[in-house]
Amino acid sequence: MRNGLRSGCLSLLIMAGLCSVQGPTAVLGAEESPQGPPLRVPVDQVDGMQRATVILDSYSYTPQHLIVQAGKPVELILTSITTITPHNFVLRDDAAGFSIERDVSAGKTVTVQFTPTKPGRYAFYCDKKLLFFPSHREKGMEGTLEVR
């Protein structure tokens, strides 16, 4: 009897632990649209960098729409929250001041820097794919960098 109670409490504790680990993700998914509203990337008061964190998941970037100012440096902190699937970040427009292609392995964080020179809307995306399957971009893993 005592042993039964004790192991019951233990499994409750374990379940509570699991719930608190999974909690934030579940709340985010429930209360917002998956990628949320456009983010006006703030300028860091110390180094003048327009800095933002972008979360990579299968198959999305959050935020999906970033707004930055031309002529000022941008730093994107690309953080993968997947456990297995590798992703990448492709943002390429030589005339606009960037040509980026960086892999972001599962669970890893990679930082990219560039200075956009030309106002416009530019797509960033993940071009990973398994042979014969649609690319991650085709599965919705793309976003917009809006340069003003």
Distances (CA, A) of 81 to 25, 84, 86, 88, 98: 10, 9, 10, 13, 25
| Residues within window 111-140 making contact with Cu ion, judged by CB under 5 A | 126, 128, 136
> Please, which residues have CB within 8 angstroms of residue 141's CB and are 6 or more apart in sequence?
56, 58, 59, 60, 61, 87, 125, 126
Angle ∠(70,101,75) on CA atoms, nearest 5: 40
| Residue 87 is a binding residue for Cu ion (CB under 5 A) | yes
* Tokens of residue 6, six digits: 């004790």
CB of 88 to Cu ion, least distance (A): 6
> Which is closer to Cu ion, CB of 51 or CB of 87?
87
Separation of alpha carbons 116 and 41, rounded Å: 13
**Nearest CB to Cu ion, comparing residues 39 and 141:** 141
CB of 120 or CB of 134, closer to Cu ion? 134
Task: State the nearest-atom distance from the C-beta of 23 to Cu ion, in Å.
Answer: 25
Residue closer to Cu ion, measured from CB, 40 or 137: 137
**Interface pattern 8-37 for Cu ion (x via CB under 5 A):** ------------------------------
Q: Residue 116 carries which DSSP code? A: -
Quick check: 51 binds Cu ion (CB under 5 A)? no
Q: Which stretches of the chain bind Cu ion, using CB under 5 A?
A: 87, 126, 128, 136, 141
